[in-house]
Amino acid sequence: MNNLNKQAGFTAVELLITLFVAAAFLVSGFQLYNLIIKDGGQTRADARASNVAYDYLRRYATSAANPCVAATPVNNTAIAVSGLSAVTVTVAITCPYAATTSISKVEVTVLYNSPQQTMKYSTYDKN
């Protein structure tokens, strides 16, 4: 006579392994969620600073004088930008080529947030 002992369900070891795997999935999911939230916030801040820099670049690119005259029309001017802190803007117009005085370089630098981050845009303007 064969006496087969069949157990229904999980053994204690199988249950512990299943709980360990489930806990590992929960922890990794939480870490992934935190990473996405952090990177998303940084991307929004970068986009806002980029929009400010591009706006100033368009505004001052057409105001470069002919012949080229080095100037700093905006120098570390504090501005308010939604979602950013400690925002300052600098616009510098330089003459990159001494032989060609009809070309100006317009560079916009936006400093923002703490720790301080930088966004720079520049363009050449032929007068």
What are the tens digits of pLDDT across the range 32-67?
A: 888 887 777 788 899 999 999 999 999 988 877 778
Instruction: Name the average pLDDT for the chain.
Output: 87
* 68 or 55, which is more confident: 55
Percent of the chain topping pLDDT 90: 50
| Sequence ranges of the domains in the chain | 12-126
Going by C-alpha positions, the residue among 40, 45, 15 that lies closest to residue 118 is 45
**DSSP class of 59:** H
Q: How many CA atoms lie within 13 A of 25 on its CB side?
A: 6
119 Cβ neighbours under 8 A, 6+ residues apart: 46, 49, 50, 52, 53, 109, 110, 112
**DSSP class of 51:** H
Tokens, residue 89: 């803007």
Cβ(56)–Cβ(37) under 8 Å?
no
Q: What confidence tens digit (pLDDT) does each residue in 18-28 have?
A: 899 999 999 99
Q: Please give the pLDDT value at position 41.
A: 79
Q: How far is CA 31 from the centre of its chain?
A: 20
Q: What confidence tens digit (pLDDT) does each residue in 28-41 have?
A: 999 988 888 777 77
